[in-house]
Amino acid sequence: MNDSTDDEPKFVIRDGSGDATGSDTTDGDEKRSGWSRLVKEVAIVVAIVLALMFVFTQFFFRQYVVPSESMESTLHGCAGCTNDRIVIDKMVYRFSDPEPGDVIVFKAPSESWDDVWQSPRSSNAVVHKVQDVLSWFALQPPDENNLVKRVIATGGQRVECHNADGKGVTVDGKPLDEPYIDKDLQVDTSAATDGVLGKGSCYGKDFGLTVPDGNVWVMGDNRSNSADSRAHQGDQYHGTVPISDIRGKVRFVMYPFSRIGGVGDHDPQG
């Protein structure tokens, strides 16, 4: 009697070269290839973005945060408030010198300016290096004490102020036109400090000097509450700032949104 019949199931053993197994392998290769292309494309986009950020940060524009109230009400900055984020033009002084009325960001030219400044870097050496690299792309602040003030006088000019004459600050004997100073704010500051700050037409102590060539004399718009050139006359630059330490000219406020707009450069010398 024959044990095999046509109705019995047939079993087929495939050696891996059949259509079913080959299709699975092809799908897997395509998926891996797709992910590889995606990773490469993302890496290229990130590299391009970082390259552009580096170029713009190093040569054209950079963002800074206003650190104090010394430039109020032109720029806002204070503990516990939303400090202005400003954008500076780094190209302008490659082709010209700072002029009276320019609002500038500069590196502290001497230790005298570093009284309360603390480095934003981590004490961990590895993290510190990472932060240094990130600062090249404006993803971390630079490891230097940056300040923002207004240029009042330039090299060779005589800048001075004597409360007794009631003229306020003068340059080469001519009183300045300073509409950016909020006089009500100066009065309030003087009252709040019993005259220690904001006293007299100079909104502070008398001073006078001739600005060295290649340097500028800077002051805050919040004249009665600004540790500007007046506060550092004992350093090697007599309170002035070398042009080489200037990082750029402030062009506009980018944040908060309620204060977005350009920053004026009214020439106080007229």
By C-alpha distance, which of 83, 60, 29 is closest to 256? 83
Question: To 5 degrees, how large is the angle CA 48–CA 49–CA 55?
Answer: 90
By C-alpha distance, which of 241, 244, 209 is closest to 93? 244
CA 269 to chain centre: 28
- Residue 70 annotated as catalytic: yes
Other beta carbons within 10 angstroms of residue 58's beta carbon come to 13
Q: Which of 70, 190, 226, 229 is catalytic?
A: 70
Q: What Rg do the C-alpha atoms of the chain give, in angstroms?
A: 32
* DSSP string for 83-119: --EEEEESSHHHHS---TT-EEEEE--SGGGGSS---
Q: What is the Cα–Cα distance from 119 to 142, expressed in whole angstroms?
A: 9
Q: Which of 10, 17, 110, 149 is catalytic?
A: 149
Q: What is the Cα–Cα distance from 90 to 94, expressed in whole angstroms?
A: 8
Residue 87 identity (one-letter amino acid)? V
Q: What is the Cα–Cα distance from 85 to 229, expressed in whole angstroms?
A: 23
Q: Which residues are catalytic?
A: 70, 149
